[in-house]
Amino acid sequence: MSTKTKIIIAIAIVLLAAASRLIKHPFNFTPVAAMALFAGCYLKKWWAVALPLAAMLVSDYFIGFYDWPVMASVYLGIALAFAIGWYLNKYLKWYNVVLASLASSVAFFVVTNFAVWAFFNWYPHTWAGLISCFTLALPFFRNTLAGDLVYSGLFFGAYYLVLLGSAKILKAQHI
């Protein structure tokens, strides 16, 4: 399979993931971080971080924009997932995909909840307020973890199966 075909498949998976945000889903059970992780692993160019971010921007246009500090933190969390995927490419094994998915979930949780604490008056700007912010966000984190693991498995698994299937077809043609 050519590099161009592999890139087209990876881009299609990223765009489908972004489009799936427009479908009703449980809070934070989305393909967003998995999409960025996958793009970072397989697109490998720094400019490719723009694809998941642009896909988010387009889907946010339809869903609705929100407070810019939190929105910026969400986009930073996505960019971090992309960077983790970039690193993952060198160590691509199924268990590293799981670890990378967990790492991107934690990074997203920390960045976005810190932004909520820092930029809003919902919690006191004290250590106790920060702990309260993170504690009250744990139910959302559970969904983030589950969504990231499920979608990472789906994206990386589907990509692997497509590559495996095309390799078998090519091998059968040369027999």
At 23, give phi and psi (nearest 5°). -95, 145
Give the pLDDT confidence score for residue 138 in this predicted structure: 94
174: pLDDT strictly greater than 60: no
CA distance 154 to 80: 20
CA distance 89 to 43: 10
Cα–Cα nearest to 17, from 43, 47, 56, 46: 56
56 close to 75: Cβ distance less than 8 angstroms: yes
- pLDDT tens per residue, range 13-24: 667 777 777 777
Choose from 51-55, 62-66, 71-75 the range with maximum mean pLDDT. Answer: 71-75
Average pLDDT estimate for 163-168: 72
- pLDDT tens per residue, range 90-146: 998 999 999 999 999 999 999 999 999 999 999 999 999 999 999 999 988 999 999
For residue 2, give the 3-state DSSP assignment.
coil
- Regarding pTM above 0.85, the answer is no
**Burial degree of 132 (CB within 10 A; 0-12, 13-18, 19+):** middle
84 close to 40: Cβ distance less than 8 angstroms: yes
More confident residue, 63 or 126: 126
Give the pLDDT confidence score for residue 1 in this predicted structure: 61
Q: What single DSSP character describes residue 92?
A: -
Give the pLDDT confidence score for residue 165 in this predicted structure: 78
- pLDDT tens per residue, range 41-53: 988 676 778 877 8
If you count them, how many residues does the chain have? 175
